[in-house]
Amino acid sequence: MEEASISIRKLRQMVSIQGDPPQRIAAYMVEGLAARMAASGQGIYRALKCKEPPASDRLSAMQILFEICPCFKFGFMAANGAIAEAFKNEERVHIIDFDINQGSQYITLIQALGTRPGKPPHMRITGVDDPESVQRVIGGLKVIGQRLEQLAKSVGMPFEFQALATKTEDVTPSMLNCQPNEAIVVNFAFQLHHMPDESVSTVNQRDQLLRMVKSLEPKLVTVVEQDVNTNTAPFFPRFVEAYNYYSAVFESLDATLPRESLDRMNVERQCLARDIVNIVACEGVERIERYEVAGKWRARMTMAGFKSYPLSPYVNGTIKILLKQYCDKYKVKEEGGSLHFGWADKILIVASAWK
């Protein structure tokens, strides 16, 4: 422990959150190691309020991340494309989102459905959020619902928002109030990896949730997730995986925002550092950021009774055209009906749809 403390002191003098990508990733990995030694990882993870609702003058860190990192942005876009297609001939539609965040994913979806030819469908969104989260404390869910209602009104779409301030694992089918005459879509955007699985608890909430969703008989389930194993990998391989993964994310942010950008620093400190500290410093139930690779999600979805539903060529084509506006190191490829988004040769985000 003494040797490690000396190394950490030396490293802290060599790294900088304002430096180049290797210096920045090292700065946060070092803090993760220090938190692991002090057993303070969980406290730091909770203190970094990445999900805070936006104040009137600026967007929250999480929303900025989704805006400036094309891999996140296009992951949402791929899911929205699949949802829009599933709703093509439906009169009443119901989206259940198990981590609604700031609801920004639905802004473009409501605009698209509200402006396409014919009468827009009656849309209902059920937004689930942890009652202990920052969102809830500041009335986040209510604000999100009002914002989406106003938008739907402006495009002439009948709209309802149901706020469900409940932990994901406690959600039951009766709470969702599904109606027999509506087409149901369940959206899992960057949420499933927060559920503990069989490596953490015998209850295996991750697979239990997927089975519960299957019982709702949804028309479609969309899954957008980071493509890296921070779930079952032991500490050292997990540290290496996290380093390689986040190095690519940090490099990609450098291509989007200037080095001195306050938005970039804010996103890295609040969102990415938060995840890194949790992955490096925490074990057992305290390790919440438990990502899995695409093949593992495929196995889980199949085991829960879902079949892959390939994303539409039109959506895929549109995304490929839009991606050309960014640095040419951003890549997208289709594989097994899913869209894989990456930086250089590293896959970062995978979007898939299931029936």
Q: What is the pLDDT of residue 103?
A: 87
- Indicate whether 8 and 26 sit together in one domain: yes
For residues 268 and 342, membership in a common domain is answered with: no
pLDDT attached to residue 222? 98
pLDDT for res 191: 92
pLDDT value for 58: 60
pLDDT given for residue 53 in this prediction:
62
Same domain for 219 and 285, yes or no, is: no
pLDDT of residue 57: 53
Which of 242, 265, 289 is where one domain is finished? 289
Tell me: do 242 and 188 sit in the same domain: no
The SS3 call for residue 249 is helix
- Is beta strand 338-343 parallel, antiparallel or unpaired with respect to 346-354? antiparallel
Task: Report the C-alpha gap between 330 and 54 in whole angstroms.
Answer: 28
In 99-182 the beta strands, taken as DSSP E runs, fall at: 122-129, 159-165
Cα–Cα separations (whole angstroms), residue 289 to 146, 194, 232, 344: 30, 6, 11, 24
Structural domains in the chain (count): 2
Helix (H) or strand (E) holding 140: helix 140-154
The verdict on 90 and 163 lying in the same domain is: yes
- Boundary (domain end) residue, out of 264, 289, 314: 289
CA nearest 41: which of 248, 242, 275, 319? 275
**Could you tell me the residue range of the domain that residue 197 belongs to?**
69-227+291-354
Q: Phi/psi zone of residue 39: left (φ > 0), alpha (ψ -120 to 50 degrees), beta?
A: left
Directed axis angle between helix 140-154 and helix 105-115, to 10°?
A: 20
Which run of H or E residues covers position 334? strand 330-335
Instruction: State the Cα–Cα distance between residues 284 and 197, nearest whole angstrom.
Output: 11
Q: Which two tokens stand for residue 7?
A: 């190394």
208 lies in the same domain as 125: yes
pLDDT for residue 64: 85
Same domain, 59 and 171: no
11 and 122 in a common domain:
no
Distance of CA 331 to the CA centre of its chain: 19
> Could you tell me if 55 and 141 lie in one domain?
no
Same domain, residue pair 242 and 148: no
Structure tokens at 87: 């709703």
Report which of 155, 154, 82, 158 is spatially closest to residue 125, judged by C-alpha positions.
158
pLDDT for position 102:
80
Cβ atoms of residues 58 and 288 within 8 Å? no
Full pLDDT tens readout for the chain, 355 residues: 999 999 999 999 999 998 999 999 999 999 999 999 999 888 888 887 676 666 555 667 888 888 888 999 999 999 999 999 999 989 999 999 998 888 889 999 999 999 888 889 999 999 988 776 645 554 678 888 999 999 999 999 999 999 988 889 999 999 999 999 999 999 999 999 999 999 999 999 999 999 999 999 999 999 999 999 999 999 999 999 999 999 999 999 998 888 888 888 888 988 999 999 999 999 999 999 999 999 999 999 999 999 999 988 888 999 999 999 999 999 999 998 899 999 999 999 999 999 9
Residue 169: name the closest of 104, 227, 99 by CA: 99
The verdict on 344 and 267 lying in the same domain is: no
Same domain, 43 and 174: no
**Stretch (H or E) spanning 184:** strand 183-189
| Domain-ending residue, one of 273, 289, 305 | 289
Question: Distance between CA atoms of 111 and 155, rounded to whole angstroms?
Answer: 7
Please name which of 133, 128, 131, 104 lies closest in space to residue 45, comparing C-alpha atoms: 133
